[in-house]
Amino acid sequence: MTQRLLIRRAGLADVTALWAIEKASFPSPWSRWSFLAELGHGNSHTLVAGPSPPHPWQTWGYIIFWVVLDEMHILNLAVHPEHRRRGLARRLLAEGLDQARTLGAELAWLEVRPSNLSALALYESFGFKTVGRRPRYYDDTQEDALLLTLDWSEAGNNSGEGEERPA
């Protein structure tokens, strides 16, 4: 059965689910306290995705980003392994980008592992371009990070998002 997707702002009740997705998604996961700190930070925005009512809430994925002046910095984007390959990351990224633009962002940027090919493909589909490299950025493997940016003045209205679909 296909369920509709709801994206909403995260709250304290979501921290345990966020942390579980984080641990299942990354070799060096953020701590539970990192999520709590983001929820309390004035520039930080955490969005969660899950089933629309009347279905009981489950957190399937999240995006965390900051908006400072005219810049969006995407800190984290993850989808629970059981819910991947359904367009959830695409929908979360599109919603995050839309909210950041509404808040005045003109440029978005993020760091990503060069080995994370699925994430790179997603970001490139939205118009992100590689503009730099941060050597030995990731402590766990000493892997470099690619620095990607999306400048809306150059990208036009490309949101990478097609028609709304069920999750």
Residue-level pLDDT at 165:
37
Average pLDDT over residues 155-163: 48
Tell me whether residue 62 is one of the annotated catalytic residues: no
Q: Which is catalytic among the residues 22, 38, 95, 123? A: 123
Residue-level pLDDT at 142:
78
> What's the CA gap between 67 and 108, in Å, rounded?
9
Nearest to 101 by CA among 159, 164, 39: 159
Does 166 have pLDDT greater than 60? no
Question: Could you give the dihedral angle defined by the CA atoms of residues 154, 157, 158 and 164, in that order, rounded to the nearest 10 degrees?
Answer: 170
Residue-level pLDDT at 167:
40
Q: Which is catalytic among the residues 111, 124, 143, 161? A: 111
pTM higher than the cut 0.85: yes
Average pLDDT over residues 11-31: 92
Average pLDDT over residues 109-131: 93
Q: Are the beta carbons of 149 and 109 closer than 8 angstroms? A: yes
| Residue 164: band (very low, low, confident or very high) from pLDDT cuts 50, 70, 90 | very low
Which tokens sit at 133?
């490299």
Does 141 have pLDDT greater than 60? yes
Q: List alpha helices for the chain, DSSP H.
A: 15-25, 32-40, 88-102, 117-125, 152-155
Q: Would you kindly state where each structural domain of the chain is located, as residue ranges?
A: 5-155
Mean pLDDT of the chain: 88
Decide yes or no: CATH 3.30.420.10 for domain 5-155: no
Tell me whether residue 123 is one of the annotated catalytic residues: yes
Q: What percentage of the chain reaches a pLDDT higher than 70?
A: 90
The pLDDT tens digits of the residues spanning 39-84 come to 999 999 999 999 988 888 899 999 999 999 999 999 999 999 999 9
Does 99 have pLDDT greater than 80? yes
Does 154 have pLDDT greater than 90? no
